[in-house]
Amino acid sequence: MVSRPSQARFLSLCGILFAALIAGCQAGQDTETASGHLAPSDVASSDGSGASSSRDALPSDAVVELVTVTPEQFQQRIQQQNGKVVLVDFWATWCEPCREQFPHTIGLAAKYADDVHVITVSADDPADPEGAREFLQQQQATETENLLTALDLNETFDRFDIRGGIPFYKLYDRQGNLRYEFNGNPQRDDNTEPIDNLEVRLKELIEEMNSPDGAE
């Protein structure tokens, strides 16, 4: 038989252990919640492309800009890049292949910064741009010109001539002429090329730009 003082001490000890157990379960739940939902940058780099899955935070003053444009304004921006090859990446936050390929676009912008101007065009809802802006910020898309279509999805595909789905890429030469288009549709029959050819074609246009015969 346990005396009352001993029983009190026993109940007090049990209470302490129970509280510690509850706190540990809550901490475990918090950890699981934090790790159970991948940040967009983690999702985007899960394709084994070599991009880090945990990017360093951007400096507070390195804010990624996102500008809403019409197709006409988009064409004006292409023509403003005289002397540089232009790569355009059409994407959306709801498109998983787009998110997986996006670090590659960022990598090309950094690798060929002297010769290539990279433009990203989001097909997300122009009335709700925050998701696209947040993804771009997490991807540290500071070396690309980031645009958001002013149109709805069907109009975007039609007016920007996106065929076979997104991601969809366009390559323009130094004179602003559209030279190549790429998509990930294996059933392509519309003169587009596979995405794997993108960097090869990019290098061709850079070399053409730098060659004596390339200047007209």
Predicted local distance difference test score (pLDDT) of residue 8: 42
Alpha carbons 100 and 41: distance in angstroms, whole number: 9
174 against 29, higher pLDDT: 174
Predicted local distance difference test score (pLDDT) of residue 213: 53
Alpha carbons 183 and 193: distance in angstroms, whole number: 6
155 against 48, higher pLDDT: 155
pTM above 0.75, yes or no: no
Q: What is the pLDDT of residues 126-173, one digit of tens each?
A: 999 999 999 999 999 999 999 999 999 999 999 999 998 999 999 999
Alpha carbons 178 and 172: distance in angstroms, whole number: 4
What single-letter amino acid sits at 52?
Answer: S
Does the pLDDT at position 23 exceed 60?
A: no
Which segments within 44-110 are labelled E, that is strand?
67-69, 85-91
Predicted local distance difference test score (pLDDT) of residue 61: 56
Q: What is the pLDDT of residues 61-105, one digit of tens each?
A: 578 999 999 999 999 999 998 789 999 999 999 999 999 999 999
What single-letter amino acid sits at 6?
Answer: S
